[in-house]
Amino acid sequence: MELLEQILFGLMIGGIYGVIGVGLTMIFGVMRLSNFAHGEFYMLGAYFTYTFVTLIGGDPFLLAPLAAIAVGAVGIVINRLLFKSLYEELKEAKGAAAFYFQDLKFIMLTIGLSILFVDLALVLWGPIPISIPSPLTKYIVKLPGDLSFSLARLIAFVVAIATLVGLYAFLKFTKTGRAIRATAQNPSAAMLVGVNIYKIYDITMFLSTGLAALAGGILGPIYNVYPTMGLDVVAKAFVVVITGGMGNVIGSILAGFLIGLAESLGGLFLGTEYKQVVAFVIMIIVLWVRPEGILGGGRK
Amino acid sequence: MALSKSVLIIGVVALVVIVAAAFYLTQTGPAAGGTVKVGLIAPLTGGLAEHGLDMKQAAILAVDEINKQGGILGKKVELVIEDTECNPTKATAAVQRLLTQENVYAIFGEYCSTVTLAVQPSIMEAKRLLFVPVSVATKITEQGYKYTFRTCANQWMQTTQNADWVVEHLKPKTAAMLGVNDDYGREGLKIWGDRVKSKGVKIVAEEYFDKGSTDFTSQLSKIKAANPDVIFVVANIRDAANILRQAHEIGLYKQFVMLGGVTSDEFLKLADDDALGLVHVSYFEPTSKRPVAAEFVKKFRERWGRNPAMYAAGVWDAFLAFKLGVEKAGTWDVDKVADAIRSLKFEGAQGTIYFDENGQAQTKVLLVQVQKVGGELKRVILYPPADKQGEYIPPEKLYGG
């Protein structure tokens, strides 16, 4: 029974890891950018949802998508203001060293953004943790065999799965999705066949930051909301991305579930003090035996 | 050419020495002039900023009050606040700045025990007073430092008093423990576990979680399977709120007991009805009827529009000890002041306070239970008898079955 409970909760958390990891891996695959500020978009999603709930009123689970769109717009603005000029500089650059330094610039820039957003949240919403009220967290679903969880958790899981399926369909079957995949494979070739890669970058930023924000918005009512909440998930998101293969969307989804499940079972069998270690051990083993990640990097 | 270069070098060196000497001369001799500077170190940004805020607000209020009453021995007190983010490296740099550039007479802080232990030696070497209003690590006041004073109960005091109350009043046969995986959590679980074990209680589960965790279902599910009579938890308010909510989510309705870290109105807001029935340690209750406490709460509310958490009370009492100590010594001589503080006995926000040889305040710890009073969540004092406000209600009565 304990095992079943652990598997159930592990999978539910895994779905959320998947949503956060997918956004991070997309940005890496398409834009070749390691976004260390990814967790802060998750945090902004939670705070935007909270702000909408207090301003408009209504259930956070209904307002979280709205918050995701708003944060996605912030993502586009950041792309236009900060990242675009770096990409234009990159176009002129020659040689491997230039690319290497370009990568460092992006890393520094996103770390800076991360600090900026955390401090901004501290100023705007204050240091005291907030809970987003939702009646759904109080409604407990009871299953036979003493298993129970809140309806909110179930909804978060369903939203996560629906989002992942929707994203997959979008990338696979729509024209824009194909253009995104083409840009991920080879930006210069994509440009040659008439893809406006800057527009693709805008869309990728929107999707990536929006997905992170959606995860923050639907988790906000279940856990609670505080300025450094993004820093607490970003390391896990990178583990998911690396384990799944950097830039591989399906890989990240699978890795999300794998790590969610492994943490739960690791906690059960090894002792909960090793729960956090389990995720990193899996990442190290994957890097060792299959450095490209469980499904290989970059493929869509 | 060679000559002019060496002249230049000598000139620069001489200039540096003169400036440094002049700076040193103007800076030594603590508290020259009409003001005395004191420093506060606290986590004002980062994951513990909500607690740093309590410390900062109480310190600002205390200094304003002291100055309003004419300062100490005729000197105005000036407060210098440094952010540590609960990071020992940052805190060490901040303390160096306070000691050398600001030349503070005393330092108040910190929140995190690891930080306090990291900065304590340099403050002691510089012969400045260190008032520890929040950090609870037992070791801080057990190293024989003359200039260290702690104005709150240490971890050992509050944890053993918690364990004793649990054994005496709840009479459990089995207990489970859950704590944050760091020195604070591990020390807490060890002290509590040893204490209840020595009184015949069996520990059936001992679980840990890492800092920054938000999901505790795997720990709670293991505890649920072990079916203990009582569950002892060491966590900050954010984690504690999540733990209680998730425990109820998976159908775990046993008696939870916690340390003083959760004593704040923000915690009750965060945990909401899931806090109902929780028993925890408190150093300070804003509902206290004692005049000194009531006056502190009134002033704090007037200034900041909210109730002070117990950390604020610890800081307030630290400033009281500082003021009374200097006034009793009648001089700024740090050795005489340290002796004077050791011989103090005064009424603080937390009750009657006096220090032992190690500078540890012998304060009384309260045990409170979160109950619904008139439809609102309140902390009701269960112990000690003198402060008692209500009776303990077991979780079966609160939650049914």
For residue B168, the 8-state DSSP code is I
A232 lies within 8 A of chain B by CB: yes
B84 lies within 8 A of chain A by CB: no
Q: What is the pLDDT of residue A297?
A: 61
Q: Are B283 and B365 in contact (CB under 8 A)?
A: yes
State ipTM.
Answer: 0.87
* pLDDT tens readout for residues B357-371: 999 998 878 999 999
Q: Domain residues for A13? A: 2-126+139-228
Q: Are B262 and B233 in contact (CB under 8 A)?
A: no
The set of residues, in sequence order, having a beta carbon less than 8 Å from that of B360 and lying 6+ positions away, is B141, B150, B154
Distance CA A177, CA A161 (A): 19
Paired with B367 in beta bridges are: B281, B383
Per-residue pLDDT, averaged over A44-53, amounts to 96
**Residue A91 pLDDT exceeds 90:** no
Give yes or no on whether B35-153+289-354 and B156-282+365-399 have one common fold. yes
Largest CA distance in chain A: 64
Tell me the chain B residues in contact with residue A273 when contact means C-beta distances shorter than 8 Å: 181, 207-208
Q: What is the Cα Rg of chain A in Å?
A: 19
Per-residue pLDDT, averaged over B44-66, amounts to 92
Both structure tokens of B276: 């109902």
For residue B276, the 8-state DSSP code is T
Tell me the chain B residues in contact with residue A268 when contact means C-beta distances shorter than 8 Å: 218, 221-222
Q: What is the pLDDT of residue B31?
A: 45
- Between the alpha carbon of residue B383 and those of residues A120, A129, B353, B356, the distances in Å are 42, 29, 18, 23
Higher local confidence (pLDDT), B394 or B26: B394
**Residue B9 pLDDT exceeds 90:** no
Query: What sign does the dihedral A269-A273-A275-A277 (CA atoms) show?
Result: negative
> In this complex, which of A128, A227, A268 lies closest to B222 when CB atoms are compared?
A268
Distance CA A72, CA A81 (A): 14
Q: What is the pLDDT of residue A216?
A: 95
Q: What is the pLDDT of residue A117?
A: 96
Distance CA A149, CA A133 (A): 17
In this complex, how many residue pairs, one in chain A and one in chain B, have their CB atoms less than 8 Å apart?
106
Distance CA A175, CA B83 (A): 51
Closest CA to B315 of B106, B160, B164: B106
The set of residues, in sequence order, having a beta carbon less than 8 Å from that of B81 and lying 6+ positions away, is B39, B40, B42, B44, B56, B59
Paired with B76 in beta bridges are: B35
**Residue A237 pLDDT exceeds 90:** yes
B272·A131 Cβ contact <8 A: yes
Distance from the Cα of B243 to chain A's closest Cα (Å) equals: 10
Helix (H, G, I), strand (E, B) or coil at B73: coil
Confidence of residue B24 (pLDDT cuts 50, 70, 90): low
β-bridge pairing B230-234 and B174-180: parallel
Distance CA B173, CA B197 (A): 10
B212 lies within 8 A of chain A by CB: yes
- pTM, rounded to two decimals: 0.82
A5·B250 Cβ contact <8 A: yes
Both structure tokens of B325: 């100590």
β-bridge pairing B230-234 and B202-209: unpaired
**Residue in chain A nearest B249 by alpha carbon:** A149
Helix (H, G, I), strand (E, B) or coil at B156: helix
A226·B270 Cβ contact <8 A: no
A231·B212 Cβ contact <8 A: yes
Q: Which residue of B53, B181, B215 is the best one to mutate when testing the A interface, meaning the one whose CB has the most A CBs within 10 A?
A: B215
Both structure tokens of A299: 């493929």
A272·B52 Cβ contact <8 A: no
Q: What is the pLDDT of residue B29?
A: 46
B50·A146 Cβ contact <8 A: no
The set of residues, in sequence order, having a beta carbon less than 8 Å from that of A288 and lying 6+ positions away, is none
A276·B210 Cβ contact <8 A: yes
Q: What is the pLDDT of residue A299?
A: 46
**Residue B28 pLDDT exceeds 50:** no
CATH 3.40.50.2300 for the B156-282+365-399 domain, yes or no: yes
B207·A276 Cβ contact <8 A: no
Distance CA A207, CA A185 (A): 18
Both structure tokens of A117: 């957003």
Helix (H, G, I), strand (E, B) or coil at B175: strand
B218 lies within 8 A of chain A by CB: yes
User: Which class would CATH give B35-153+289-354?
Assistant: alpha beta
A223·B215 Cβ contact <8 A: yes
Distance from the Cα of A123 to chain B's closest Cα (Å) equals: 10
B207·A272 Cβ contact <8 A: yes
B215·A9 Cβ contact <8 A: yes
Q: Which residue of A9, A128, A263 is the best one to mutate when testing the B interface, meaning the one whose CB has the most B CBs within 10 A?
A: A128
Q: What is the pLDDT of residue A267?
A: 87
Q: What is the pLDDT of residue A96?
A: 63
Residue A167 lies in a domain: yes
Domain-by-domain residue ranges, chain B? 35-153+289-354, 156-282+365-399
B242 lies within 8 A of chain A by CB: yes
Which has the minimum average pLDDT: B1-15, B33-47, B73-87?
B1-15
B270·A131 Cβ contact <8 A: yes
Tell me if the bond preceding B384 is cis, omega within 30° of 0.
yes
The 3-class secondary structure across chain A, one letter per residue, is CHHHHHHHHHHHHHHHHHHHHHHHHHHHHHHCCCCCCHHHHHHHHHHHHHHHHHHCCCCHHHHHHHHHHHHHHHHHHHHHHHHHHHHHHHHHCCCHHHHHHHHHHHHHHHHHHHHHHHHHHHHHHCCCCECCCCHHHHCEEEECCCEEEEHHHHHHHHHHHHHHHHHHHHHHHCHHHHHHHHHHHCHHHHHHCCCCHHHHHHHHHHHHHHHHHHHHHHHCCCCCECCCHHHHHHHHHHHHHHHHCCCCHHHHHHHHHHHHHHHHHHHHHHCHHHHHHHHHHHHHHHHHHCCCCCCCCCCC
Number of domains in chain A: 1
Burial class (CB in 10 A: 0-12, 13-18, 19+), A81: exposed
Confidence of residue B15 (pLDDT cuts 50, 70, 90): confident
- Between the alpha carbon of residue B190 and those of residues A177, B196, B378, the distances in Å are 56, 10, 30
B227 lies within 8 A of chain A by CB: no
Tell me the chain A residues in contact with residue B249 when contact means C-beta distances shorter than 8 Å: 140, 148-150, 153
**Residue in chain B nearest A117 by alpha carbon:** B46
Distance from the Cα of B73 to chain A's closest Cα (Å) equals: 37
> In this complex, which of B212, B225, B272 lies closest to A232 when CB atoms are compared?
B212
For residue B362, the 8-state DSSP code is -
Tell me the chain B residues in contact with residue A126 when contact means C-beta distances shorter than 8 Å: 50, 53
Which long-range contacts (C-beta less than 8 Å, at least 24 apart) are formed by A77-81?
A78/A113, A78/A205, A78/A209, A79/A201, A79/A202, A79/A205, A80/A202
* pLDDT tens readout for residues A110-156: 999 999 999 999 999 988 899 898 888 888 888 887 888 889 889 99
**Residue A72 pLDDT exceeds 50:** yes
Q: What is the pLDDT of chain B when averaged over all its residues?
A: 90
Distance CA A63, CA A49 (A): 6
A6·B207 Cβ contact <8 A: no
Q: What is the pLDDT of residue B335?
A: 94
